[in-house]
Amino acid sequence: MPTITTKDGTQIFYKDLGSGQPIVFSHGWPLSADDWDTQMLFFLDRGFRVIAHDRRGHGRSSQCGAGNDMDHYADDLAALTEHLDLKKAVHVGHSTGGGEVVHYIARHGESRVAKAAIISAVPPLMVRTPANPAGLPKSVFDDFQRQLAANRSQFYFDVASGPFYGFNRPDRKPSQPVILNWWRQGMMGGAKAHYEGIVAFSQTDFTEDLKKINVPVLVMHGDDDQIVPYADSAPLSAKLLTKSTLKTYKGFPHGMPTTESETINADLLGFISSQ
């Protein structure tokens, strides 16, 4: 398996297919690069080079005991882009991966970046604070950690079969293959990394990061997102970014790259191909 080794000895697994302009995909919590299979095949077929990695503590990367925070996530992504010597890359991040992309660009600069897209993404800040009164109470994320520690397998199954894809809505028919694939990816990773990752995605404030970004960014979010509520995420990120395009999808769930892949892929292609 292709891997790179970071400065702290963590092995990061990655996929690298095709040629042409590179598109780099950053996955959501607690998943892996496999969550981008549909997008990678779509863009590979259209002449792009597609790259996706397993975040540290996730999938086939090292189940490290430390560094499960947004700074290390961004630094790992930077190490990968440098190892592959990527130029004019488009970075696409879903959920926690959207935060990773934003923090990477702000922290490491735009010399290798052409554009970015963040989908159902966690920025600017998920948790409620005095400066973010519309955020979710910290108790919500504390409960996530409690459920993970008590029975990670059951917790992941409940998330996948319920709010992540909107399968708890009366008008949506659950897909067992989709649910099981989400569960499979989650269980491949490390419990400690996933436990600490809840803090990383919920308590990292990306406000200043968003202000630093000057490349064009497509902000994509469903208005029925039950994981990262729409009103306190996408519109606020779009306002903080210098060059943003906000696309709101009526009725789409958090996991819309999977359940609504045809629409998401077409809109990503239009954005990437535009001048």
Q: Which residues pair with 246 in a beta bridge?
A: 219
Q: How do residues 102-121 score in pLDDT, each as one tens digit?
A: 999 999 999 999 999 999 99
Three-class SS of residue 129? strand
Which residues partner with 94 through β-bridges? 119
The end-to-end CA distance of the chain, in Å, is 36
Report yes or no: 148 and 191 within 8 Å, Cβ to Cβ.
yes
User: Residue 66 CB: number of other CB atoms within 10 A?
Assistant: 13
- Whether 225 is catalytic is yes
Beta bridge partners, 113, equal 89
Handedness of CA 230, 211, 200, 115 (dihedral sign): positive
- CA 62 distance to own-chain centroid: 19
The catalytic position among 61, 95, 233, 244 is 95
Q: In this structure, which CATH number among 3.40.50.1820, 3.30.230.10, 3.10.20.30, 3.30.1490.20 belongs to the domain 3-273? A: 3.40.50.1820
Residue-wise pLDDT tens digits, 190-214: 999 999 999 999 999 999 999 999 9
CA angle (259 as vertex; 231, 155 as ends), nearest 5: 75
Q: What angle do CA 270, 273, 275 make, to 5 degrees?
A: 110
Mark whether 254 is an active-site residue: yes
Q: How far is CA 167 from CA 21, 160, 204, in A?
A: 35, 8, 28
Which of 72, 91, 194, 254 does the annotation list as catalytic? 254
Distance of CA 70 to the CA centre of its chain: 12
Give the CA dihedral 33, 39, 40, 42, nearest 10 degrees: 170
Catalytic entry in 54, 225, 232, 267: 225
pLDDT by residue, tens only, the chain of 275 residues: 899 999 999 999 999 999 999 999 999 999 999 999 999 999 999 999 999 999 999 999 999 889 999 999 999 999 999 999 999 999 999 999 999 999 999 999 999 999 999 999 999 999 999 999 999 999 999 999 999 999 999 999 999 999 999 999 999 999 999 999 999 999 999 999 999 999 999 999 999 999 999 999 999 999 999 999 999 999 999 999 999 999 999 999 999 999 999 999 999 999 999 97
> Helix crossing, 176-188 with 138-161: angle to 10°?
130
What span, in angstroms and rounded, lies between the C-alpha atoms of 263 and 32? Answer: 22
Q: 98: part of which helix (H) or strand (E)? A: helix 96-108
Closest CA to 220 of 263, 162, 159, 259: 263
Q: What is the DSSP string of 34-61?
A: GGGHHHHHHHHTTT-EEEEEPPTTSTTS
Query: Can you tell me whether residue 218 is helix, strand or coil?
Result: strand
Per-domain residue ranges of the chain: 3-273
SS3 117: strand
